[in-house]
């Protein structure tokens, strides 16, 4: 299961429903917003995972943080500390607020959902992605991002989001996605 499907199905859909209530969106709009935001976030995570230091940092954060609460407790999604944590995650994966703003602008153009709504939603979705990956790490017993016995790798969760042309290689897709989001 890819990360978008996991987020949409978290708590039998209650997490997506909470996002709708929190941001004034119906379920279709939540799904559309997540479909636009999650691939951009996945590309950022993938870019960070491409360096040994970034990969180790992510695995450490997944193992040491309390990120699972973002998918296990839907009430956590509306808390100020979730937004603060999500903004920290965005800072790590995108490196600047300008990239986050650009992601929201592009997602607004793709979805027709207001840019201000998507900007506000982005840190919560980032926190949910960390929660999803953290939960996957805990359930599979992974000690590194390469996976463990019978466990799905982090890369396996992100790859379906990143290989948009389904050519078996996500490299061209990630490069294009990063270029679009950074304006290069």
How do residues 71-129 score in pLDDT, each as one tens digit? Answer: 889 899 999 999 999 999 999 889 889 999 999 999 999 999 999 999 999 999 999 99
Residue in the block written with tokens 């407790």? 73
What phi, psi does 96 have (nearest 5°)? -155, 155
- pTM summary value: 0.77
Domain ranges within the chain, ordered by starting residue:
3-182
Confidence at residue 160, expressed as pLDDT on a 0 to 100 scale: 53
**Contacts with 141 (C-beta within 8 Å, 6 or more apart), sequence order:** 148, 149, 151
Distance from C-alpha of 136 to C-alpha of 154, rounded to nearest angstrom: 8
Higher pLDDT, 38 or 181: 38
What's the rounded Cα separation, in Å, for the pair 60 and 24? Answer: 34
Q: Looking at the predicted structure, is the pLDDT value of residue 30 above 90?
A: yes
Residue 149: pLDDT over 80: no
- In this structure, the number of other CB atoms found within 10 A of the CB of residue 113 comes to 22
């Amino acid at each position: 299961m890819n990360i978008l499907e996991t987020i949409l199905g978290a708590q039998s859909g209650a997490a997506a429903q909470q996002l709708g209530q929190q941001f004034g969106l119906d379920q279709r709009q939540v799904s559309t917003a997540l479909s636009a935001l999650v691939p951009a976030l996945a590309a950022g995570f993938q870019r960070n995972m491409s360096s040994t230091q970034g990969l180790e940092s992510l695995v450490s954060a997944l193992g040491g943080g309390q990120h699972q609460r973002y998918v296990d407790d839907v009430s956590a999604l509306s808390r100020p500390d979730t937004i603060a944590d999500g903004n920290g995650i965005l800072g790590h994966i995108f490196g600047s607020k300008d990239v986050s703003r650009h992601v929201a602008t592009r997602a607004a153009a793709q979805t027709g959902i207001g840019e201000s709504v998507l900007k506000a939603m982005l840190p919560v979705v980032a926190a949910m992605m960390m929660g999803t990956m953290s939960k996957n790490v805990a359930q599979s017993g992974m000690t590194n991002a390469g996976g463990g016995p019978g466990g799905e790798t982090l890369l396996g969760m992100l790859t379906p989001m990143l290989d948009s042309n389904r050519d078996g290689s996500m490299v061209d897709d990630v490069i294009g996605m990063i270029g679009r989001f950074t304006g290069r």
